Structure 1
Amino acid sequence: MNVTHASPPDRPRTRIWPATLLIVFAALAVLAVIWRVDTAPRTDDAYAYADTIGVSPEVGGKIVNLAVRDNQAVKQGDLLFEIDPRPYRYALQRAQAALAQLDAQIPLTQRSVNAQNYSASAAKAAVLRAQAAAKQTSDTLARMEPLIAKGYVSADELDRARTAQRSAQAELDAARSQSQEAQAAVSGVEALVAQRGVLEADIANARLNLEYATVRAPFDGRIAGLKTSVGQYVSAQKPVFTLIDTRHWYVIANFRENELTHIRPGTRATVYLMSNTGQRFDGTVDSIGFGVDPQDGGESANGLPNIQRSINWVHVAQRFPVKIRVEAPNADLFRVGTSAVAVLRTTRDASDADASHPGAPS
């Protein structure tokens, strides 16, 4: 009697399929993550940013009118504060009075100069007359001297001729001296005209300082760090508070260096703030950082961003700041330093595709 035994089911083979599927799904998931990271890099190491300036007056003085409060929104041209204008108003009035005095002095000086020129001309004419008289008496004396030996001229006549010659020479010397004095007394108005230009510059500077006593907002923004009040003395070129430029908002997103391959200016981005994750904002990459503090124990590079690494005992990829310009920011949500999340939508261009396929025809 033949007994046929049924073969047991292939249990090991049925157990392989779930493990295989799990491996395949895991591999697909890894590939999807890699593709996602490559085409849409994302980081929560980001924060909102806007340009700021320190509002400082051009002139010093006491604040007599503080027209804003801390965290207030202002428009371009709005009054921020006023410095006591009286010293600068008085300086302007003083310069204007000095100019008016000079303008009155110039015509008087011109008339005096004209009189001095007339006197100098008269003195020159007197010199010419004295020269003619001296020449005449000298010629007369020269003719009379040979005649006295022949008895044609008496000794008394010769003495009178000599006296006339010496008198004419003395008058000539006196006339020359007066002419020199008259010429030296002649002065012009050129120096006064040059002084007028200096006073006009002083007036322009005083008027500008008076305008500087009133400080207005250079652009739309929001006041920050206001810690002063009316009566406080402020110095020129020293900030009184900070003005945030709310016309343009950015998100500074720190991406790992191995994620920068396909990021370039113009790359589209989506950002949202941690204070309100329900609102998403579109933006574009404005620029990519080209330097950070390496934090390698050496000297810090002055002025470079200092980005902390998450693990300092393992060699991890460095992060570089990517500046994203937000296209339609919500003025009520965006604050400088607010935590944010940024997602970039990168695209591969033809050069990237050629680089990834070395065998492609050129």
Structure 2
Amino acid sequence: MSTYNGFTKVLKVTVTFCVVAVAATMLWKLFNYYTYAPQTRDGKIRADVVPIAGDLSGRIETVYVTDNQEVKKGDLLYTIAHKRLENAVERARARLEVAKADLNEADRENKRYQRLDTVASQQQKDEHISDLESARANYHQAQTELDLANINLGLATVTAPVNGIVTNLSLRPGAYASEGEAMMTLVDSDSFYVTGYFEETKLANIRVGALAEIRVMGESKKLQGHVQGWSVGIEDRERSTSADTLLANVNPTFSWIRLAQRIPVRIAIDEVPKEVALIAGRTVSVTLHSDQVADASSAQVSSQP
């Protein structure tokens, strides 16, 4: 009986020890994973935003797009009233014709006087040479004015500079467009990428080209991408002079205790399921597999502008 009790006691101790050891191992692995493994729930989908501003001032004549419409590079967006610009082209063309006629007349007169060796004085010959040069300069100026008028007429038609999606559109016919003032915004549909904010303690396990598993909040399907690189500088909040820099400004979770800084890591998106809507600003979770490298062909395609 005592032998049985002793065996039971040893078994209990052994089982307890094994359970504690397994639990401790799992806790240690979980601690290492969440402390050092390259994964974060703090990520955002990003895209290049292109403000559309014309090089010409005037009233909006026609708007060819609607809000959230997808457009291709070169598609018409809007036009500025161009009747006055067409009139300017006609006036410039008429001035060019006059200047051309004056140039031809000056050329004929100059040639005629240059042949009159005995009758015309040298002073008269020089005057006609000067008249010819002046007429030629006037002709070139008129040609330049016509070119400028044609350029302005072309600027009255505003087209999409990139493939993208019109967003936050409030432009209407009759509104006044000022030169250089953004009238609408395009989100470049070929520029979507992910920025994941990783703690600096995890940088040692991040590799350029590493496979990235991306989960978009609210979506069941995963995206696949690869690491392109990370920021080499973030703003130092302890220095007031850094406020004027263009470095990434990453808000710390807490400022009263010493926590690891979060470094922005840029991740190219290689594969997107059809069900997932890429919207700049959406929240994502990112897990990096540093032991796996993304397919080279997909990485190359995703990096194209």
Q: TM-score range by the shorter chain?
A: 0.7 to 0.9
SS of alignment partner, residue 261 of structure 1: helix
Matching of residue 220 in structure 1 with residue 163 in structure 2: yes
What percent identity do the matched residue pairs reach? Answer: 26
Change (3 A) 1:347 1:200: same
Change (3 A) 1:92 1:25: same
Q: Structure 1 CA distance, aligned partners of 2:176 and 2:283? A: 37
Q: Structure 1 CA distance, aligned partners of 2:70 and 2:205? A: 38
Structure 2 counterpart of 1:90, which letter?
A: N
CA contact (8 A) 2:76 2:158 kept: yes
Q: Structure 1 CA distance, aligned partners of 2:30 and 2:235? A: 30
CA contact (8 A) 2:211 2:292 kept: no
- Structure 2, gaps ≥5 residues long: 294-305
Deviation at 1:348, TM superposition (A): 9.2
Matching of residue 342 in structure 1 with residue 281 in structure 2: no
Over alpha carbons, which structure has the higher Rg?
Answer: 1
Matching of residue 322 in structure 1 with residue 265 in structure 2: yes
May I ask how many residue pairs the two structures share in their alignment?
Answer: 289
1:314-361 deviations in Å (ceiling 9; x for gaps): 110000111111113348611110111111111299xxxxxxxxxxxx
Change (3 A) 1:181 1:304: closer
1:136-170 deviations in Å (ceiling 9; x for gaps): xxxxxxxxxxxxxxxxxxxxxxxxxxxxxxxxxxx
CA contact (8 A) 2:212 2:225 kept: yes
The aligned residue for residue 22 of structure 1 is: 19
The aligned residue for residue 147 of structure 2 is: 204
Matching of residue 77 in structure 1 with residue 77 in structure 2: no
Alignment counterpart, residue 41 of structure 2, candidates 39, 44, 58: 44
CA contact (8 A) 1:268 1:282 kept: yes
Change (3 A) 1:110 1:297: closer
1:174-233 deviations in Å (ceiling 9; x for gaps): xxxxx4764565444122223322222222222122111111112211111222211111
Deviation at 1:294, TM superposition (A): 2.7
Q: Structure 2 CA distance, aligned partners of 1:262 and 1:242? A: 38
Q: Structure 2 CA distance, aligned partners of 1:282 and 1:181? A: 83
SS of alignment partner, residue 299 of structure 1: helix
SS of alignment partner, residue 236 of structure 2: coil
Written as runs of structure 1 = structure 2, the 5 A alignment for 1:158-169 is none
TM-score by length of 1: 0.72
CA contact (8 A) 2:60 2:176 kept: yes
CA contact (8 A) 1:257 1:319 kept: yes
CA contact (8 A) 2:194 2:266 kept: yes
CA contact (8 A) 1:39 1:345 kept: no
Alignment counterpart, residue 183 of structure 2, candidates 240, 244, 254: 240
TM-score by length of 2: 0.84
CA contact (8 A) 1:40 1:346 kept: no
Q: Structure 2 CA distance, aligned partners of 1:236 and 1:303? A: 27
The aligned residue for residue 5 of structure 2 is: 9
- Structure 1, gaps ≥5 residues long: 124-178, 350-362
SS of alignment partner, residue 90 of structure 2: helix
Q: Structure 2 CA distance, aligned partners of 1:339 and 1:111? A: 76
Change (3 A) 1:190 1:243: same
Q: Structure 1 CA distance, aligned partners of 2:275 and 2:56? A: 33
Change (3 A) 1:297 1:117: closer
CA contact (8 A) 2:193 2:266 kept: yes
Deviation at 1:283, TM superposition (A): 0.5
Deviation at 1:259, TM superposition (A): 0.7
SS of alignment partner, residue 228 of structure 2: strand
Alignment counterpart, residue 277 of structure 2, candidates 327, 333, 343: 333
The aligned residue for residue 161 of structure 1 is: none
Change (3 A) 1:331 1:248: farther
Matching of residue 280 in structure 1 with residue 276 in structure 2: no
The aligned residue for residue 93 of structure 1 is: 90
The aligned residue for residue 296 of structure 2 is: none
The aligned residue for residue 232 of structure 2 is: 290
Change (3 A) 1:17 1:6: closer
The aligned residue for residue 299 of structure 1 is: 241
Deviation at 1:116, TM superposition (A): 4.0
Q: Structure 1 CA distance, aligned partners of 2:124 and 2:238? A: 85
SS of alignment partner, residue 323 of structure 1: strand
Name whichever structure is richer in strand by fraction. Answer: 2
Written as runs of structure 1 = structure 2, the 5 A alignment for 1:230-269 is 230-269=173-212
CA contact (8 A) 1:40 1:345 kept: no
Q: Structure 1 CA distance, aligned partners of 2:107 and 2:3? A: 137
SS of alignment partner, residue 206 of structure 1: helix
SS of alignment partner, residue 295 of structure 1: coil
Structure 2 counterpart of 1:338, which letter?
A: R
Structure 2 counterpart of 1:97, which letter?
A: A
CA contact (8 A) 1:113 1:186 kept: yes
CA contact (8 A) 2:71 2:166 kept: yes
1:82-105 deviations in Å (ceiling 9; x for gaps): 111123222222221111111111
